[in-house]
């Protein structure tokens, strides 16, 4: 009897070598969760293994293997699952199948086993570095680009999953299936209905959700469908403000996300119970609480782990205490979400300040906590940066880490960016000034290649220090510079941008709105990017800027301080080092003096400026780097016992 081994991890190399001494393998295929990998070998050009029964639930499930031989002919073989192979961590790394068509019909290719294990290439032919231990990872998030994005959360949850999948993990991203009735909806056209209806119990009744799915770039993108996600606006609100039922919408998301690994046979079989949930921000923060309060007592998800990823502590999902009953949690778990506002924050004398805080629920139930930079992981344990949660976060310091975000270096690449008119690189910067001229023309500013052009991109929000810019603009406009701002948010500042545009016609442009192509053109066309954020968990725009040779001037806080190194002209024997300027304290004066230093360097010290640009452009911003650090955190999560078992 021959067995067909479906290989799924790099550790298969040694595994197969030893196994082949004892058994005969018909062939080997790197089947990444039922999807295709190209396998380099002499005898098999491509092999597809798929489940016939729709998911491996028992050891008797039937499989069919289609082998495409060198002559291009396909040979189909039926097989039964004999058993699963697991590695030392207990992860399933392969299945042994019994051929139903008889051993004599299946040839043994021992050499294939060794060859295929040596080189793993993706569909585009790139060799992939693989992780040592593979996990089944479930991202839960309110946004994932390109399907949905209002800010950096969408960027991260659209890129990090791909980086982790390409390192060999099985990765699912669960987010709502928003339909806004806008062109954005077309991003969901490839997501197909899985015909899996599930009832989740919250808000005093059963809510039926369904799941849509797209497999793209090695990731299972899962969209939870519910009528409350279908409305104009953005994921959180519309022109009139935040939606009043966001607690409901994201509670449904969390319940559905907990069911997804158990019920969705993606690529033929479910993710199962031994998975790792990454709950992003407050919208997903009910997930660790549900695991602890709803699943663990029934022995479900005993071996799962959860990591809370904090992108922004300022938003916590706080609602009146009476809404606790909406969550579908046992009454005795109230304490996990209980939150009492300090006296000064209460609205009237009879206000007891009692509330529920969803993010707090995750802080006290998740196995580990991550923030998106090291600096921010410390700041949130301080009174100034903790938004009332610093004591709790300090109490969990032993499981709190920071990993700096990466960026999508394919989307943000000045040498190939589809949104910019001219391309350039650190070796040939000539295209950058062309981008600047193109931007000045597009914005109707005087075309002046030598005039310093300063940019700002971001939400018009207290966090982003937009008030500081507003104070500083009159003084800034006295200098011979141009300034362009792209952003939307607070109405007051949108209006101020419009007014400033008419006050400083030759110098100021304010683009109100959310526009990704323009954000690329501003990043490429400006000389300086200003980020006076009051706090910044990581910040992505300064990373995009540096990759585009645009010099960041930032407030020294959180991820900005971690990623921007202030220029020192005397370092390296006078050659200089640094990639921009950080200023502190957060005041108009210190921001203006950092900006003036940058402008002076741009005008009078061209060689230094070129050095700053090039050092920024040459840094490693890939997600690969961050993914490796995430893996370390995953390892720690599984070494420890579940925090709440
Ligand atoms: N008007 C506009 N038009 C087009 N694009 C626009 C735009 N306004 C913003 N963007 C884009 O949205 C993203 C914003 O990302 P940031 O990381 O700078 O901030 P955000 O506060 O949203 O993210 C939070 O989460 C991220 C991710 O972890 C952290 O980096 C960050 O510190 C934290 O506050 C960037 O891709 C930016 O280009």
DSSP one-letter string for 27-43: EEEE-BTTB--EE--SS
Q: Which of 143, 152, 409 to mutate to test the pocket of ligand 1 (most atoms within 8 A of CB)?
A: 152
When pLDDT is averaged across residues 58-79 and rounded to a whole number, the result is 46
Which atom of ligand 1 lies at the shortest distance from residue 523's CA?
38
Tell me: the pLDDT tens digits for 76-131? 555 444 445 544 444 444 444 444 444 333 222 222 222 222 345 555 555 667 88
Which of these, 18, 14, 53, 13, lies nearest to 34 by C-alpha position? 53
Ligand 1 pocket member 96 (CB < 6 A):
no
| Whole-number pLDDT of residue 534 | 97
Give, using CA atoms, the residue closest to atom 19 of ligand 1.
152
ipTM above 0.90, yes or no: yes
Residue 408 beta carbon below 6 angstroms from any ligand 1 atom: no
Residue 25 has pLDDT above 50, yes or no: no
Cα angle vertex 644, ends 144, 331, to 5°? Answer: 85
Residues of the chain with CATH 3.40.50.2000: 136-406+626-639, 429-619
Confidence of residue 406 (pLDDT cuts 50, 70, 90): very high
- Residue 548: its pLDDT value, please? 98
Residue 280 alpha carbon to ligand 1 centre in Å: 15
Which atom number of ligand 1 is nearest to the Cα of residue 558? 32
| 464 CA to centre of ligand 1 in angstroms | 10
| Residue 519 Cα: closest atom of ligand 1 | 4
Separation between Cα atoms, residue 614 and residue 227, nearest integer Å: 49
Residue 131: the pLDDT is 82
Residue 411 in contact with ligand 1 by CB distance below 6 A: no
Pocket test for ligand 1, best of 278, 458, 532 (most atoms within 8 A of CB): 458
Q: Which of 2-6, 55-59, 438-442 has the highest mean pLDDT?
A: 438-442
Q: Cα-flanking dihedrals φ and ψ of residue 327, to 5°?
A: -75, -15
- pLDDT cut 70: percent of the chain above it: 80
Ligand 1, from 149, 151, 464: best to mutate by most atoms within 8 Å of Cβ?
A: 151
pLDDT in tens, 470-505: 999 999 999 999 999 999 999 999 999 999 999 999
Q: Which of 70-74, 335-339, 516-520, 530-534 has the least mean pLDDT?
A: 70-74
Give the pLDDT score at 76: 52
Please work out whether the CB of residue 541 comes within 6 Å of at least one atom of ligand 1.
Answer: yes
Residue 71: pLDDT band with limits 50, 70, 90: low
**Confidence (pLDDT) at 75:** 55
Q: Is the CB of 313 under 6 A from ligand 1?
A: no
Token output for 88: 């030392």
Is 136-406+626-639 a CATH 3.90.660.10 domain? no
CATH 3.40.50.2000 fits 429-619, yes or no: yes
Percent of the chain surpassing pLDDT 90: 76
Q: Residues 457, 155: contact at Cβ < 8 Å?
A: no
Cα of 613 from ligand 1 centre, angstroms: 22
- Mean pLDDT lowest among 2-6, 342-346, 554-558: 2-6
In whole angstroms, how far apart are CA 155 and each of 246, 406, 418, 516, 602? 21, 10, 18, 12, 31
Cis peptide before 146 (omega within 30 of 0): yes
Q: What is the pLDDT of residue 575?
A: 84
How confident is the model over 242-292, as pLDDT tens digits? Answer: 999 999 999 999 999 999 999 999 999 999 999 999 999 999 999 999 999
pLDDT given at position 106? 27
pLDDT at 523: 98
Q: 539 CA distance to ligand 1 centroid (A)?
A: 7
pLDDT digits (tens, 9 = 90+) for 133-143: 999 999 999 99
Ligand 1 within 6 A of 519 CB?
Answer: yes
Average pLDDT score, the chain = 85
Distance from the alpha carbon of residue 141 to the mean position of ligand 1, in angstroms: 15
Report, as an integer, the average pLDDT of 363-379. 98
pLDDT at 74 (0 to 100): 53
What does the pLDDT read at residue 592?
A: 98
Whether residue 258 contacts residue 290, with contact meaning beta carbons closer than 8 Å, is answered with yes
Look at residue 521 and tell me whether its pLDDT is greater than 60: yes
User: What would the pLDDT profile of 606-622 be if each residue is shown by its tens digit?
Assistant: 999 999 999 999 999 99
What is the pLDDT confidence band of residue 442, given thresholds at 50, 70 and 90?
very high
C-alpha 544/C-alpha 557 separation (Å) is: 18
């Amino acid at each position: 009897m021959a067995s067909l081994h479906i290989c799924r991890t790099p550790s298969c190399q040694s595994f197969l070598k030893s196994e082949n001494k004892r058994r005969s393998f018909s062939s080997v295929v790197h089947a990444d969760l039922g999807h295709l990998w190209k396998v380099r070998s002499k005898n098999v050009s491509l092999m597809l293994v798929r489940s016939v029964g729709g998911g491996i639930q028992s050891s008797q499930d039937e499989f069919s293997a289609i082998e495409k031989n060198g002559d291009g002919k396909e040979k189909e073989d039926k097989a039964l699952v004999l058993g699963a192979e697991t590695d030392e961590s207990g992860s399933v790394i392969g299945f042994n199948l019994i051929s139903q068509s008889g051993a004599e019909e299946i040839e043994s290719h021992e050499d294939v086993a060794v060859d295929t294990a040596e080189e793993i290439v993706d569909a585009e032919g790139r060799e992939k570095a693989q992780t040592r231990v593979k996990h089944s990872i479930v991202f839960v998030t309110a946004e994932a680009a390109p399907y949905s994005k209002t800010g950096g959360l969408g960027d991260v949850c659209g890129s990090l999953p791909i980086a982790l999948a390409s390192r060999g993990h099985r990765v699912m991203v669960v987010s709502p299936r928003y339909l806004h009735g806008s062109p954005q909806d077309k991003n969901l056209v490839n997501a197909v209905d899985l015909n899996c209806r599930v009832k989740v119990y919250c808000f005093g009744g059963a809510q039926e959700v369904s799941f849509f799915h797209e497999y793209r770039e090695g990731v299972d993108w899962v969209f939870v469908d519910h009528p409350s996600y279908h409305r104009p606006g953005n994921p959180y609100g519309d022109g009139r403000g935040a939606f009043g039922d966001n607690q409901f919408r994201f509670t449904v998301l969390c319940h559905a996300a907990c069911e997804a690994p158990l019920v969705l046979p993606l690529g033929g079989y479910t993710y199962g119970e031994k998975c790792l949930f990454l709950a992003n921000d407050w919208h997903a923060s009910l997930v660790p609480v549900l695991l602890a309060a709803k699943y663990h007592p029934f022995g479900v998800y005993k071996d799962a782990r959860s990591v809370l990823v904090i992108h922004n502590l300022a938003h916590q999902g706080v609602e009146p205490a009476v809404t606790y009953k909406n969550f579908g949690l046992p009454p005795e778990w109230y304490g996990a979400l209980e939150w009492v506002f300090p006296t000064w924050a209460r609205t009237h004398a009879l206000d007891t300040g009692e509330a529920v805080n969803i993010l707090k629920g995750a802080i006290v139930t998740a196995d580990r906590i991550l923030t998106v930079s090291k600096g921010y992981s410390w700041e949130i344990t301080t009174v100034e940066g903790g938004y009332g949660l610093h004591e709790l976060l300090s109490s969990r310091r032993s499981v709190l880490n920071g990993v700096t975000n990466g960026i999508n270096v394919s989307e943000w690449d000045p040498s190939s960016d589809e949104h910019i008119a001219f391309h350039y690189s650190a070796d040939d910067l000539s295209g950058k000034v062309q981008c600047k001229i193109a931007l000045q023309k597009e914005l109707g500013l005087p075309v002046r290649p030598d005039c310093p052009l300063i940019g700002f991109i971001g939400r018009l929000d207290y966090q982003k220090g937009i008030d500081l810019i507003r104070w500083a603009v009159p003084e800034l406009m006295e200098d011979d510079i141009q300034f362009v701002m792209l952003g939307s948010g607070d109405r007051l500042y949108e209006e101020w941008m419009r007014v400033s545009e008419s006050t400083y016609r030759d110098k100021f442009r304010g683009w109100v709105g959310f526009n990704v192509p323009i954000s690329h053109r501003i990043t490429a066309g400006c000389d300086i990017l200003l980020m006076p954020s009051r706090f910044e968990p990581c910040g992505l725009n300064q990373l995009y800027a540096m990759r585009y040779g645009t010099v960041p001037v930032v407030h020294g806080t959180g991820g900005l301080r971690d990623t921007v190194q202030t220029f020192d002209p005397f370092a390296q024997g006078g050659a200089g080092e640094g990639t921009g300027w950080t200023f502190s304290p957060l005041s108009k004066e210190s921001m203006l003096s950092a900006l003036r230093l940058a402008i002076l360097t741009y005008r009078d010290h061209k060689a230094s400026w070129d050095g700053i640009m090039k050092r920024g452009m040459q840094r490693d911003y890939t997600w690969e780097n961050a993914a490796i650090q995430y893996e370390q955190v995953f390892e720690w999560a599984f070494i420890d016992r579940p925090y709440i078992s």
